[in-house]
């Protein structure tokens, strides 16, 4: 059985970190508000204009505060496509996957989000009242951002693990792409995971890799 750790109050610092800025500290610009008003949960959010609107939205600040599935989220739209599309389109982004999840999720279900990115599907699982949610993300920048989002909300049944999952145990290397390719998704290549869904393209990052069987035995 999985349990969510107790989340700190909104302004309490985590060990070694500064106090969390309250929700609303990073407002959207008027342009971003206009784009969101036109696209969020509306038919335009799934049409051909979405790409243009996302690009327009990404010209704003690096960090913006908004809501997703009714939860407070700290978005980073300029260097993460999932953040940009989630902020702008809401549930219309990945709508087919969300429709499928809505049919199968229940309070008695367990949901494992592998390669969670900014936690889009984990938050949706929480909105579906799923009480056991395991969020796994190898990128330490992305998992730190998602933990920040969790701290902006009331405690949710989400347990975050910063590691990669695969057939073998060991250490892997995240090798970000060049700045021009930051918005491309992560992919596996010759045993290494490469990607650039975070802004720190000048450094290499290492993450532990674990077999799914090992993690399951730890929780037994």
Q: Of 119, 206, 201, 111, whose CA–CA distance to 164 is shortest? A: 206
Mode of pairing for the β-strands spanning 64-68 and 132-136: unpaired
Q: For residue 53, count CB atoms less than 10 angstroms from its CB and return exposed for 0-12, middle for 13-18, buried for 19 or more.
A: buried
The strand pairing partners of 111, in sequence order, are 133
Q: At what angle do helices 81-89 and 30-39 cross, to 10 degrees?
A: 70
Query: How far is residue 72's CA from residue 169's CA, in Å, rounded to a whole number?
Result: 35
Q: Of 163, 97, 152, whose CA–CA distance to 128 is shortest? A: 97
Structure tokens at 137: 């993300």
Q: Of 203, 215, 73, 65, whose CA–CA distance to 141 is shortest? A: 203
Q: How many residues does the chain have?
A: 220
Q: Of 82, 152, 92, 85, whose CA–CA distance to 118 is shortest? A: 82
Query: How far is residue 101's CA from residue 122's CA, in Å, rounded to a whole number?
Result: 11
Q: Of 57, 125, 113, 126, whose CA–CA distance to 87 is shortest? A: 57
8-state DSSP, 119: T
Q: Which pLDDT score, from 0 to 100, does residue 132 have? A: 94
**Could you give the 3-state DSSP secondary structure of residue 171?**
strand
Q: Which pLDDT score, from 0 to 100, does residue 159 have? A: 95
- State pTM to two decimals: 0.74
Q: What backbone phi and psi angles, to 5 degrees, belong to 114?
A: -95, 125
The strand pairing partners of 207, in sequence order, are 172
Contact call for residues 146 and 137 (beta carbons, < 8 A)? yes
Q: What is the pLDDT along the chain (220 residues), one digit of tens a residue?
A: 333 344 333 334 445 556 789 999 999 999 999 889 888 888 776 777 888 889 889 999 999 999 999 999 999 999 999 999 999 999 888 889 999 999 999 999 999 999 999 999 999 999 999 999 999 999 999 999 999 999 999 999 999 999 888 888 888 777 766 543 444 443 333 333 333 344 443 334 445 556 555 554 444 4
């Amino acid at each position: 059985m999985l349990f969510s750790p107790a989340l700190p109050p909104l302004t309490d610092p985590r060990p070694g970190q500064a106090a969390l800025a309250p929700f609303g500290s990073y407002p959207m610009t008027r342009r971003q508000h206009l784009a969101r008003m036109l696209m969020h949960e509306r038919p335009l959010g799934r049409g051909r204009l979405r790409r243009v609107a996302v690009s327009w939205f990404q010209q704003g600040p690096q960090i913006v505060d908004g809501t997703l599935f009714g939860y407070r989220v700290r978005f980073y739209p300029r260097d993460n496509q999932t953040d940009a599309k989630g902020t702008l389109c809401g549930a219309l982004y990945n709508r087919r996957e969300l429709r499928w999840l809505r049919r199968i999720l229940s309070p008695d279900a367990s949901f494992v989000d592998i390669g969670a990115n900014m936690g889009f599907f984990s938050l949706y699982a929480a909105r579906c009242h799923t009480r056991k949610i395991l969020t796994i993300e190898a990128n330490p920048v992305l998992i730190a951002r998602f933990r920040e989002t969790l701290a902006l909300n009331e405690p949710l049944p989400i347990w975050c693990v910063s590691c990669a999952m695969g057939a073998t145990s060991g250490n892997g290397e995240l090798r970000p792409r060049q700045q021009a390719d930051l918005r491309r998704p992560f992919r596996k290549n010759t045993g290494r995971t490469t990607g650039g869904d975070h802004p720190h393209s000048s450094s290499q990052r290492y993450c532990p890799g674990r077999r799914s069987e090992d993690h399951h035995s730890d929780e037994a």
